[in-house]
């Protein structure tokens, strides 16, 4: 039996990073660490015709953290287009209930990769807004849970794969420490 569903939700958090623009060019390189808590949650009911038991699989993506490097090009005054990639961490929790009994509770941190891109607009000195899309894959995990009903033991195999497509909107403040108060790439 397989239960596969997708879900949507909200994420909110913060970021810290640094950008460098090569003098006289539009090329920008940078890095960023972003942490977000999420409301991603999905549960599904299933029925096992072999045992006659029904159950629920409940999956949560509690938070994710990404460390990315980006390369971009300032194509017009105040505008930057960029691509990025790096490492993604996430905390997932999977709960399995069969015949009214919780038989599996797996909570773990996972790590894998992320990639994406976006556009950034400097709308005032030191202030910019961005819109970006990313794909994050933090891997899959197979688990086996044994539970007892009367004198019988039953096993439940389940696999959880955590991946997410994110669309992020945000506002940045740039300190301009290295550029004597001048924000980069504009």
Per residue in 38-82, pLDDT tens?
888 788 887 777 777 788 878 888 899 999 999 999 998 899 999
Looking at residue 185, its pLDDT comes to 53
Structural domain containing residue 99: 11-172
Q: Is residue 186 part of a domain?
A: no
Question: Domain total for the chain?
Answer: 1
Looking at residue 160, its pLDDT comes to 67
> 136 pLDDT exceeds 70?
yes
Looking at residue 181, its pLDDT comes to 44
Per residue in 23-43, pLDDT tens?
888 999 999 999 999 888 788
Q: Is residue 33 part of a domain?
A: yes
Looking at residue 131, its pLDDT comes to 98
CATH of the domain at 97: 2.40.160
Q: Is residue 68 part of a domain?
A: yes
Strands 101-124 and 79-98: antiparallel
Q: Is residue 177 part of a domain?
A: no
| Burial 133-165, CB ≥16 within 10 A → b, else e | ebebbbeeeeeebebeeeeeebebebebebbbe
Looking at residue 2, its pLDDT comes to 43
> 10 pLDDT exceeds 90?
no
Q: Is residue 83 part of a domain?
A: yes
What's the Cα-to-Cα distance from 8 to each of 38, 163, 167, rounded to whole Å? 10, 12, 11
Q: Is residue 146 part of a domain?
A: yes
What's the Cα-to-Cα distance from 131 to each of 119, 120, 123, 134, rounded to whole Å? 6, 7, 13, 10
What's the Cα-to-Cα distance from 180 to each of 19, 79, 129, 177, 183, rounded to whole Å? 14, 21, 22, 6, 9
Q: Is residue 180 part of a domain?
A: no
Alpha carbon distance 48, 91 (integer Å) = 28
Q: Is residue 183 part of a domain?
A: no
| 3-state SS assignment for residue 178 | helix
DSSP 8-state code for residue 177? G
């Amino acid at each position: 039996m397989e239960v596969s569903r997708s879900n949507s939700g909200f994420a909110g958090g913060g970021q810290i990073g640094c950008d460098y623009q090569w003098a006289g060019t539009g090329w920008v390189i940078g890095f960023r660490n972003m942490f977000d808590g999420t409301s991603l949650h999905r549960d599904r009911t299933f029925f096992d015709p072999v045992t006659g038991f029904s159950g629920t699989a409940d999956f949560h993506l509690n938070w994710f953290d990404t460390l990315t490097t980006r390369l971009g090009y300032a194509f017009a005054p105040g505008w930057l287009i960029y691509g990025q990639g790096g490492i993604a961490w996430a905390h997932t929790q999977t709960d399995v209930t069969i015949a009214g009994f919780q038989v599996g509770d797996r909570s773990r941190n996972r790590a894998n990769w992320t990639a994406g891109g976006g556009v950034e607009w400097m709308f005032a000195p030191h202030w910019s807004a961005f819109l970006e899309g990313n794909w994050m894959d933090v891997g899959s995990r197979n688990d086996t849970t044994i539970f007892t009903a009367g004198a019988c033991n039953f096993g439940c195999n389940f696999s959880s794969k955590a991946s997410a497509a994110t669309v992020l909107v945000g506002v940045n403040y740039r300190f301009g420490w290295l550029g004597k108060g001048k924000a980069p790439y504009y």
